[in-house]
Amino acid sequence: MVGEGVVTMFTGRIQEIAQVALVADERIVVRAPKSAGRIRVGGSLNVAGACVTVEHIAGTAVTATVSAETRRRTTFDDCAPGRRVNLEPALAVGDPLDGHLVQGHVDAVGKVAGIDGQGAARRLWIRPPARFLPRVAAKGSIAVDGVSLAVAEVVRDRFSVVLIPATLEQTTLGGLAAGDRVNLESDLVARLAAAGPAVAGADVARAFSSLGWAGHVSGRAGAEKAVTQLAAGGAVMVWDPDREVEGDVIFAGAAIRPQAFTFLLTRCCGHPTVPCAPEILERLEIPPIPGEGDRHGTRPHVPVDLAAATGTGVSAAERAATVRRLARPDARPADFLRPGHVFPLAARPGLLAERAGHTESTVVLCTAAGLPPVGVCCEVMNPDGTMAGPADLEAAALRWGLPLVDISDLRSWL
C-alpha cells in the first residue's frame, strides 16, 4: 500500500538492472541511475520481484526497507553487495500496462532445474514448491525475479518459460544457471482462484491468467509481447490494414505441434502457409511456382511433404512434421517430396522494410524470438465465409487468448 486505499502495482517490464551497493539490517541500497528520478521517498519499488518501500534517495543510490519476513520468503536471504537485480518503479496514473499486473508479493522461491538452448533464445525450466505449481497455467502469465513472462509448458514438477534475446539482454535472467534460486509471483487472477475449490481454481486460472497478453496490443511493448508469446510456443495474431486487409494467426515453425495445425484448420479456417527466409528455400532446392503470383506480391513455392512420412501428408501431424523439418538447419533437399501439401512462401530479402506482409511478419517474429526463420500463418475467416475484419479479429484474439498486433508496429520495433 502507498497511502490509504491506494494499491501498489507493477507490470513486470524491467526499467533497468540495478546493482546492490549495501545490505545492512533491514535496509538495502541499490544503484539505480535510470530509475532514481522516477522514485520518491515513501514510494514502492519492485526489486528482483519483491515490493520494498523507499526510505532515502541520494543521487543514484536508493535505500529501501527489506523486512525480516521479506528476507525469509525471498532470495533476499542471501543478497550481497554486487548482486545485479531487476528494478521497476511502481505504476503511476497514466502509465501504460505493458506486461501483466504484478504486485511484488513473492509467492514462492523456485530453483532453476535446467536451461535449454533454443536458437538465440533460451528455455528456462523452473521447479517451484509443490504448493505453487497449481497456480501456474500454460500460456498464462508469471513473474520471475520481477520479469513478466508467458508460461510455455507445465510438466510434472516444473514449468518452463522462454527468454527471447531482448529479455536476456535487458534483465538478469540471462545470467541464471542451473541451481540458481528465483522469486516467483503467480498471476493475480490465478492467486485469487486458488482460494476456491481446486478444480474451479485451475479452470479460472487457465481462462483468465493470459488476459494481460490477449487482445489488441501496440507499440514496442505490443511487439515484444508478440515475440514472447511466439517464443513460448504460442500463437500471435497480426493485422494487415493496408495490403490484404486481413488478419493471420502465426506460429513459429521450429517446434510446431499437430494441435497448432488443427487449430488453424478448424478455428481460423483460412489457408495455412509456411513463410520462410528465401535462403532456406534456395538451400533446400524448393523452387518458386511458375507464374506472376497473386495481386499482393506473395511469392509461393512448390508445396512439399516430408519424405519420411508414411501417410498422405495431409494430417495435422504430418504437416507439422514437414514444417519442423523445413526449420531444421541440417535439413536437405532429399528430405522432401515435391509437390506436397505444405505450402512454403518466400519472404522478401529486405523483410518488412521491403514488403509489409504476413509472410515477412512471420519471418521477422521468428527471428526476433531467436528461432529459425520458418513459421506458419493462416488467415482468419468468419463462419459465413467472409474474411474477419478488425472487430472480428479483436473478439477472436480475446476468445483465443492471443495478442493482436499491427504490422506497422512490427515494422517499427523489430
pLDDT surpassing 60 at residue 1: no
Identify the three-state secondary structure at position 380. Answer: strand
pLDDT surpassing 50 at residue 402: yes
The Cα-based distances of 199 to 193, 194, 203, 281, 330 in angstroms read 10, 9, 6, 47, 44
Q: Report the mean per-residue pLDDT for the chain.
A: 88
Per-residue confidence band for 5, with pLDDT thresholds at 50, 70 and 90: very low
**Record: fold of 108-211:** Elongation Factor Tu (Ef-tu); domain 3 (2.40.30)
Per residue in 112-162, pLDDT (tens digit) is 999 998 888 899 999 999 989 988 988 888 999 999 998 999 999 999 999
Q: Is this structure's pTM higher than 0.75?
A: no
What would be the CATH architecture of the domain defined by 214-413?
A: Alpha-Beta Complex (3.90)
Whether domain 16-89 has CATH 2.40.30.20: yes
Q: Do domains 16-89 and 108-211 have the same CATH topology?
A: yes
pLDDT surpassing 80 at residue 200: no
Alpha-carbon torsion, ordered 355, 168, 373, 231, to 10 deg: -100
Q: Which amino acid is at 211?
A: L
Burial of 315 (0-12, 13-18, 19+ CB in 10 A): middle
143 vs 49: CA distance, rounded Å: 7
Can you tell me the mean pLDDT for 367-378? 96
221 vs 215: CA distance, rounded Å: 13
Per-residue confidence band for 75, with pLDDT thresholds at 50, 70 and 90: very high
Angle, vertex CA 210, rays to CA 327 and CA 226, nearest 5? 40
Per-residue confidence band for 99, with pLDDT thresholds at 50, 70 and 90: low
For the chain, the domains span 16-89, 108-211, 214-413
Per residue in 32-43, pLDDT (tens digit) is 999 888 888 888
Per residue in 317-342, pLDDT (tens digit) is 999 999 999 999 999 999 999 999 99
Burial of 221 (0-12, 13-18, 19+ CB in 10 A): middle
Can you tell me the mean pLDDT for 373-384? 96
pLDDT surpassing 90 at residue 213: no
Sign of the Cα torsion 233, 193, 181, 74 reads positive
287: DSSP letter: P
Per residue in 49-64, pLDDT (tens digit) is 998 889 999 999 999 9
Q: Which amino acid is at 362?
A: T
Lowest mean pLDDT among 213-217, 298-302, 357-361: 213-217
pLDDT surpassing 80 at residue 194: no
